[in-house]
Amino acid sequence: MTRNRFAQACVAALLLIGSWSAAGALPASASDAPSPAASAASTGSASASPGLLRAMQRDFGLSRAEAEARLAAERRATELVPEARETAGAAYGGAWFEAESGKLIVAVTSDAGDSTVRALRASGADVRVVEHSARLLDAVKSRIDRLNAPAGVSSWSVDPAANTVVVNVVRDQRADSGVRRFVTEARKAGPVTVRTVRAAARTFAAGTVGGDPYYTGNVRCSIGFSVHGGFVTAGHCGGTGAGVRGWDGSHIGTFQGSSFPENDYAWVNVGSGWWTVPVVLGWGTVPDRLVRGSAEAPIGASVCRSGSTTHWHCGAVLAKNETVNYSQGAVRQMTKTSVCAEPGDSGGSFISGDQAQGVTSGGWGNCSGGGETWFQPVNEILNRYGLTLHTA
C-alpha cells in the first residue's frame, strides 16, 4: 500500500498490507483439523470484483465469462472435497480441480465399491481409478521426510493426478552423488517419480528498502492475514520477541511466536495505534478484497497473491503437503503454486476468491521470467497458535 493510501485508509491499514501482501510460508506441525474460520466459508460467495476478473483474464488468458465460470466451479469443488474424502474412505486416492472440465476429479483405488463410485459421481465429481491410495502415498512421503536432503533436491510431495510421490531435483545437479543417493533411498520408500526444476528453493525476505512492508531488524517482509489481536506471517522473517516496525518506522508490535525451519510461520501482536480489519490489499490492480473465511482450495484451483515487492499475481495450486528443502533446512506441509514472487514478498497472503489460503514462504524464479512459490496453509497457523482469522 502506498504511503498516502495508508493515510487515507488507516482503518484498513494493517490487513491491507497483510492479506494481499505476499511472502511467508508456514508448514505447521499442528493438527490437521480445520480451524473454526474454515467453516465461515460462505456457500454463496459474493460475485467476483471486476479487478479480480481482470487479473484472472490476464494471468490465465481467459475471457470475462470464462473467469466467472472458473471461479464458480472452483467454489463448488472446494465445498465438495471433504465430502468426497469421507465418501471414498480407505479407497480415497486424492482429489484435484480440472480447469478444462470445471470439475473436481476424485481418485479411488480399485477396491472402491460401485455404490461409492455412484455416490461420488452423483455429487458432481468425476472419478478416476488409481493403483495407490492417498494413505499409502502419504506414508511414502513421510518416510522420505526422514531422509537428509542435499541442496540439489528442491522439494517432494504427493501428486494425486500422477498417483505417485514426486521428488523435484535441481536440473544442473542431477548427477550430484548426494542427489543420486537421496533419490535411490526415496525410491525404496515406495512409488516415486523424479522431476527436474530450474533452481533451488529460497525464502523471499529482503533487506530494507522503500515501500509499504513491515520491518524487523534489517529484513523487509509483507504482512499476512489479520487475526484478532494481530497478524500472521512467515517465521523466517523474525524470531519470537523481535520487534516489528511499519512502513513509516512506527512500532507495530512483536513476534509472539515463530518457527523456522521445519515450519515457516509466525504471528505478531498489534498495538501502538495499529489495528486489524478483514481486508486484503489489491495494490490498485484489483479492488481491496474482504476476507470471508479460510476454506481450502483443491489442487488445480486458481489462487492469487499480493506482496510489498511484486504486488498482485495469480496462478494455480500445484501440490499440497510438500516438503521444501531450503538452505536453512527442510520446511514441511507447504502448498506449491505457479504464482511468482520476489524478495520482500515473504509473509504475505494467498487468497482464492474470498477465502484465505496461506502466507508466502519462498520459491524459485521471479515475476519477470516466472517461477513457483510455496505458502503455508493459514489454517495450520491458526490452529497452532489458537488464533481466529479476522473475517467480514
pLDDT of residue 206: 55
Active site residue 228: no
Active site residue 264: yes
How far CA 45 is from CA of 28, 299, 352, 388, 392, in Å, comes to: 28, 20, 11, 20, 12
Per-residue pLDDT of the chain (392 residues; tens, 9 = 90+): 333 333 333 323 332 222 223 333 322 222 233 333 333 333 334 467 777 888 889 889 999 999 999 999 999 999 999 999 999 999 999 999 999 999 999 999 999 999 999 999 999 999 999 999 999 999 999 999 999 999 999 999 999 999 999 999 999 999 999 999 999 999 999 999 999 999 989 987 654 333 368 999 889 999 899 999 999 999 999 999 999 998 778 899 999 999 999 999 999 998 888 888 888 787 777 777 789 999 999 999 999 998 999 998 999 999 999 999 999 999 999 999 999 999 999 999 999 989 999 999 999 999 999 999 999 999 999 999 999 999 98
Residue 111 lies in a domain: no
The domain that holds 194 is classified in CATH as 2.40.10.120
> How many independent structural domains does the chain possess?
1
pLDDT of residue 288: 77
The pairing of strands 311-326 and 329-337 is: antiparallel
Residue 11 lies in a domain: yes
Residue 234 lies in a domain: yes
Residue 105 lies in a domain: no
pLDDT of residue 275: 83
pLDDT of residue 205: 66
86 CB-near residues (< 8 Å, 6+ apart)? none
User: Burial, 72: exposed, middle or buried (Cβ in 10 Å; 0-12, 13-18, 19+)?
Assistant: middle
Active-site entry in 346, 349, 352, 361: 346
Residue 197 lies in a domain: yes
Q: Tens of pLDDT along 354-367?
A: 999 999 999 999 99
Residue 344 lies in a domain: yes
Active site residue 21: no
Active-site entry in 212, 222, 236, 354: 236
368 CB-near residues (< 8 Å, 6+ apart)? none
Residue 236 lies in a domain: yes
Active-site entry in 264, 288, 345, 354: 264
Per the structure, the complete domain to which residue 214 belongs is given by 1-80+133-392
79 CB-near residues (< 8 Å, 6+ apart)? 41, 43, 295
Residue 121 lies in a domain: no
